[in-house]
């Protein structure tokens, strides 16, 4: 006997399926070249794949320690010391998570209490706000403006309140492809130093930075890192987004709180993948050291291929995304334009307005260039017809 099912009142009533899932599905449906969702159409290093197979064959198939396997935490500590001049303690300050997404969620859940205010910078990555809402927090957004998307620190100071608990930033920034400079971190520190405010620094593209001064990590700032949770993702670094292994670095007291959430969100992360990543970091650090040059070549090829199109390409200082202004081509809004582009032109892209709470009237789309040269050339050829 069937009963009328209950329909729960949604805790996230305004939320639908992510734009990445939507656009990838549309791309597939229309057989379009998919430059929307950010993932490479090539594989990661053979050595990494071989090490995964090796560890599976050796029986490393049971639960990993809750915080991550020790060789991986040690390799992360070594890499962090090399890059940012600070060696976190591998036992108490590094936690391996199921992708950066889990680290972000665990950090927000651990830190944000009901009524707390969380400052973020729009356009902002789509996973932050739902986690803040579920924790009972209130989003306070600073709308960054193209083409530079720089933070106005006066505006930031005005938004700061006694209820501010957390600031969420992302550098190199998805989707704007801009980066924070050391001076931005210095300004952030000046603004929050006298208040109990924490920083969640999403640095998943830390190794895909083209800026002359390199990636400015929160971990390189001696005072800020005492208040910060820095998040990264091996999916981006090793071209393996499907492995979903990430991590966060934070002072012991903050890590302890993040781990309380992590242990009941996933408990532990895929064991053989962690061991393989530890081997890869130790045996092949040149992979991440050479990543900027690897992606710079793809960026430059794609920009060059688009130079005869009517798209106006914005500067790209980091990430594997390129922004393009299509106002010379169409009056459609960005969501409608991306749908049209996918269905009629055969190139899928991401509209920018979906990353903003306020109206974002700019005619900008995001194109992912983590693709084989042939894919980029084919996409550019279609875009140049417009």
User: Which residues are near ligand GLN by CB under 6 A?
Assistant: 18, 20, 37-38, 174
Residue 308: CB minimum distance to ligand PMP, A: 30
Residue of 229, 27, 56 lying closest to 128 (CA atoms) = 229
Residue 334: CB minimum distance to ligand GLN, A: 15
Task: List the single partner that 22 binds among ligand PMP, ligand GLN, none, CB under 5 to 8 Å by kind.
Answer: none
Residue 174: CB minimum distance to ligand GLN, A: 5
Contact 97, 247 (CB under 8 A): yes
Task: List the single partner that 68 binds among ligand PMP, ligand GLN, none, CB under 5 to 8 Å by kind.
Answer: none
Say which residues have a Cβ less than 8 Å from residue 125's Cβ, sequence separation at least 6: 170, 174, 202, 355
Size of the site for ligand PMP (CB under 6 A): 13
Residue 34: CB minimum distance to ligand GLN, A: 10
Helix axes 373-384, 291-305, angle to 10 degrees: 30
| Site track 118-137 with ligand PMP (rule: CB under 6 A), x = hit | -------x------------
What Å distances lie between residue 322 and 58, 292, 309, CA to CA?
A: 42, 15, 14
Residue of 353, 338, 6, 352 lying closest to 177 (CA atoms) = 352
SS3 232: strand
Q: Which of residues 229-248 bind ligand PMP (CB under 6 A)?
A: 233, 235, 241, 246
Q: Which of residues 50-89 bind ligand PMP (CB under 6 A)?
A: none
Q: Please identify, using beta-carbon distances, which residue of 26 and 104 lies nearer to ligand PMP.
A: 104
Task: List the single partner that 181 binds among ligand GLN, ligand PMP, none, CB under 5 to 8 Å by kind.
Answer: none
Q: Please identify, using beta-carbon distances, which residue of 33 and 245 lies nearer to ligand PMP.
A: 245
Q: Please identify, using beta-carbon distances, which residue of 134 and 160 lies nearer to ligand PMP.
A: 134
Identify which range of 93-101, 179-187, 336-344, 372-380 contacts ligand PMP by CB under 6 A: 93-101
Contact 51, 279 (CB under 8 A): yes
Q: Is 256 exposed, middle or buried (0-12, 13-18, 19+ CB in 10 A)?
A: middle
By CB under 6 A, residue 176 contacts ligand PMP: no
By CB under 6 A, residue 100 contacts ligand PMP: yes
Contact 160, 195 (CB under 8 A): yes
Task: List the single partner that 100 binds among ligand PMP, ligand GLN, none, CB under 5 to 8 Å by kind.
Answer: ligand PMP
Contact 338, 347 (CB under 8 A): no
Identify which range of 98-106, 160-168, 298-306, 375-383 contacts ligand PMP by CB under 6 A: 98-106
Q: Please identify, using beta-carbon distances, which residue of 102 and 279 lies nearer to ligand GLN.
A: 102
- Dihedral sign computed on CA atoms, order 298, 304, 307, 309: negative
Residue 127: CB minimum distance to ligand PMP, A: 6
**Range list of β-strands (E), 220-356:** 228-233, 246-249, 312-313, 321-325, 347-348, 350-351
């Amino acid at each position: 006997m069937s009963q009328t099912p209950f329909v729960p009142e949604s805790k996230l009533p305004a939320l639908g399926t992510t734009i990445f899932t939507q656009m990838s599905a549309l791309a597939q449906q229309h057989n379009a070249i998919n430059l929307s969702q950010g993932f490479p159409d090539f594989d990661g290093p053979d050595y990494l794949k071989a090490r995964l197979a090796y560890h599976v064959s050796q029986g490393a198939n049971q639960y990993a320690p809750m915080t991550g396997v020790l060789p991986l935490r040690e390799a992360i500590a070594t890499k962090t010391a090399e890059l940012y001049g600070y060696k976190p303690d591998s036992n108490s300050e590094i936690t391996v998570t199921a992708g950066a997404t889990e680290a972000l969620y665990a950090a927000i859940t651990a830190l944000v209490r009901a009524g707390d205010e969380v400052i973020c910078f729009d356009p902002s990555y789509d996973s932050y706000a739902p986690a803040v809402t579920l924790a009972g927090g209130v989003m306070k957004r600073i709308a960054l403006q193209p083409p530079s998307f720089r933070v106005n620190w006066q505006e930031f100071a005005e938004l700061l309140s006694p209820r501010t608990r957390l600031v969420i930033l992302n550098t190199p920034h998805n989707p704007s492809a801009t980066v924070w400079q050391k001076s931005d971190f210095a300004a952030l520190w000046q603004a929050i130093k006298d208040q109990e405010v924490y920083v969640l620094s999403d640095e998943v593209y830390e190794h895909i930075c083209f800026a002359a001064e390199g990636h400015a990590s929160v971990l390189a700032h001696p005072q800020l890192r005492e208040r910060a949770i820095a998040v990264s993702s091996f999916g981006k670094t090793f071209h393996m987004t499907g492995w979903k292994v990430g991590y966060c670095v934070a002072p012991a007291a903050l890590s302890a709180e993040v781990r309380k959430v992590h242990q009941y969100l996933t408990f532990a992360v895929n064991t053989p993948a962690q061991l393989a990543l530890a081997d890869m970091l130790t045996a092949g650090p040149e992979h991440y050291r050479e990543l900027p040059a690897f992606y710079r070549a793809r960026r430059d090829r794609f920009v060059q291929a688009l130079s005869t199109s009517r798209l106006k390409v914005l500067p790209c200082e980091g990430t594997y995304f390129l922004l393009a202004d299509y106002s010379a081509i169409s009056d459609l809004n960005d969501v409608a334009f991306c749908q049209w582009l996918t269905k009629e032109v055969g190139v899928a892209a991401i509209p920018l307005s979906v990353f903003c709470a306020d109206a974002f009237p700019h005619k900008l789309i995001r194109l992912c260039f983590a693709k084989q040269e042939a894919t980029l050339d084919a996409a550019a050829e279609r875009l140049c017809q417009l």
